[in-house]
């Protein structure tokens, strides 16, 4: 038998996982969520940093710099991937929701089949549900409610407004709490407003939805 010196270097395989579960738990809708702790440095996270709560490893990818911060919670079939960030307190991501790309969610609730991606940023008690999508450089804040099949993209800013139906809010549009945008309330095609009926883009679906650009993050 070949002798191995105590000075012989041993190859230690570096773990591919970036977080582990701690013994701390939280409970929501009959589910047990577990707090996470970083195993290595990545992005703005340092090894040993505590994160938020997830139900299982399918909720948060070990790839990229994505992270669940503070006491945010991700559960059910929801998934955070790429370089996305879920931050703050009293924040839930659930259902089949997806957050990826460089998106930041520090709103209140992202659920159902809603998606947040690109460089989108959502903050301050926002609810996004249904099949809604927020992407590109869009900003949504201050108790806004985005639902149904609505989309907010380009450089649009939604502050406190209700966006429902199949509404598209885009370009440099800026909506406030006094605005309620829905299917039947769209301006005529060709108006100077920066939001239009969804049928206007029916033939340009691929152009106005850059989901494919980040599809590897969402895998």
Structural domain of residue 126, as residue ranges? 107-207
Residue 175: predicted pLDDT: 75
31: in domain: no
44: in domain: no
**What is the total count of domains within the chain?**
1
Q: Is the pLDDT of residue 198 over 90?
A: no
CATH number at residue 157: 2.160.10.10
- To the nearest 10°, report the CA torsion of 54, 59, 64, 67: -30
Q: Give pLDDT tens digits for 17-28.
A: 999 999 999 999
Q: Is the pLDDT of residue 177 over 70?
A: no
Residue 190: predicted pLDDT: 32
Is 104 in contact with 122 (CB distance < 8 Å)?
A: yes
111: in domain: yes
190: in domain: yes
Q: Is the pLDDT of residue 172 over 60?
A: yes
Is 69 in contact with 81 (CB distance < 8 Å)?
A: no
pLDDT band at 104 (very low <50, low <70, confident <90, very high): very high
Residue 20 belongs to what H/E stretch? strand 19-28
Residue 119: predicted pLDDT: 99
pLDDT band at 1 (very low <50, low <70, confident <90, very high): very low
Looking at the chain, the whole-number percentage of residues with pLDDT higher than 90 is: 69
Residue 213: predicted pLDDT: 61
84: in domain: no
Q: Give pLDDT tens digits for 54-66.
A: 999 999 999 999 9
168: in domain: yes
What is the CA 3 to chain-centroid distance, rounded?
53
Residue 171: predicted pLDDT: 87
48: in domain: no
Average pLDDT score over the chain:
84
113: in domain: yes
Looking at the chain, the whole-number percentage of residues with pLDDT higher than 70 is: 73
**157-159: strand order across its sheet:** 67-68, 85-86, 104-106, 121-123, 139-141, 157-159, 174-175
* pTM of the model as a whole: 0.80
């Amino acid at each position: 038998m070949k002798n191995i010196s105590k000075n012989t270097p041993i190859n230690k395989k570096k773990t591919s996982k970036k977080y582990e579960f701690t013994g701390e738990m939280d409970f929501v809708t009959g589910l047990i969520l577990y707090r996470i702790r970083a195993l290595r440095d990545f992005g703005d996270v340092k090894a040993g940093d505590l994160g938020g709560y997830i139900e299982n490893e399918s909720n948060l990818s070990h790839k990229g710099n994505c992270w669940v911060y503070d006491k945010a919670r991700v559960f059910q079939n929801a998934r955070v991937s790429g370089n996305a960030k879920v931050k703050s307190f009293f924040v839930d991501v659930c259902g089949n929701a997806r957050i990826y790309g460089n998106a930041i969610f520090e709103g209140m609730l992202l659920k159902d089949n809603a998606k947040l991606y690109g460089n989108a940023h959502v903050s301050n008690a926002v609810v996004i549900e249904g099949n809604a999508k927020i992407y590109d450089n869009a900003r949504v804040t201050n108790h806004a409610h985005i639902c149904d099949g609505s989309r907010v993209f380009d450089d649009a800013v939604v502050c406190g407004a209700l966006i429902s139906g199949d509404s598209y809010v885009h370009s440099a549009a800026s909506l406030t709490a006094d605005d309620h945008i829905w299917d039947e309330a769209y301006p005529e095609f060709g108006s100077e407003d920066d939001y239009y009926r969804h049928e206007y883009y029916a033939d340009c679906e691929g152009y106005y939805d850059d989901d494919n650009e980040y599809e590897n993050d969402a895998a």
